[in-house]
């Protein structure tokens, strides 16, 4: 699984270059997120626009990644596709994460 990391000022955008975060890759995802968020800017935005599917393991790994954020910083999400959005809404995890329609609006809007 590849991550593309870009910095916009003090904002770090992590783009997941995979079409699934599922049981087969959840542990790998979590491990890579641990590295990716170790030294972050003021905000970290996880861009999921390429991810067509997550299952409960993938959701758990994203929650786990939130807990890895240093200094109580929040992990924000952007670019949720239809099924990914459905998983967040169904489990009410959409109430836990700041969710932006896409990276551009995430970067423009303060959390």
Residues at the contact surface with another protein, assessed by CB under 8 A = 20, 22-24, 52-53, 55-57, 59-61, 63-64, 66-67, 72, 82-83, 86-87, 90-93, 95-96
- If the CB atoms of residues 64 and 107 are measured against another protein, the closer one turns out to be 64
Q: How far is the CB of 98 from another protein (least distance, A)?
A: 13
Q: How far is the CB of 10 from another protein (least distance, A)?
A: 21
Give the CA distances from residue 18 to residues 21, 22, 25, 94, 95, in Å, rounded to whole numbers and listed in that order.
Answer: 7, 10, 10, 21, 25
Give the CA distances from residue 69 to residues 72, 81, 90, in Å, rounded to whole numbers and listed in that order.
Answer: 6, 24, 24
Q: What distance in Å separates the CA atoms of residue 24 and residue 6, rounded to the nearest whole number?
A: 26
- If the CB atoms of residues 89 and 102 are measured against another protein, the closer one turns out to be 89
């Amino acid at each position: 699984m590849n991550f593309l990391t870009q910095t916009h000022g003090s904002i770090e955008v992590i783009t997941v270059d995979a079409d699934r975060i599922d049981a087969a890759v959840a542990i790998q995802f979590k491990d890579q997120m641990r590295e990716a968020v170790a030294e972050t800017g003021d905000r970290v935005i996880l861009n999921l626009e390429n991810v067509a599917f997550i299952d409960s393991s993938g959701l758990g790994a994203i929650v786990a990644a939130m807990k890895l954020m240093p200094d109580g910083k929040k992990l924000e999400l952007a670019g949720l596709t239809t099924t990914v959005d459905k998983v967040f809404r169904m489990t009410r995890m959409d109430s836990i994460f700041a969710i932006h329609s896409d990276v551009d609006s995430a970067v423009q809007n303060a959390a």
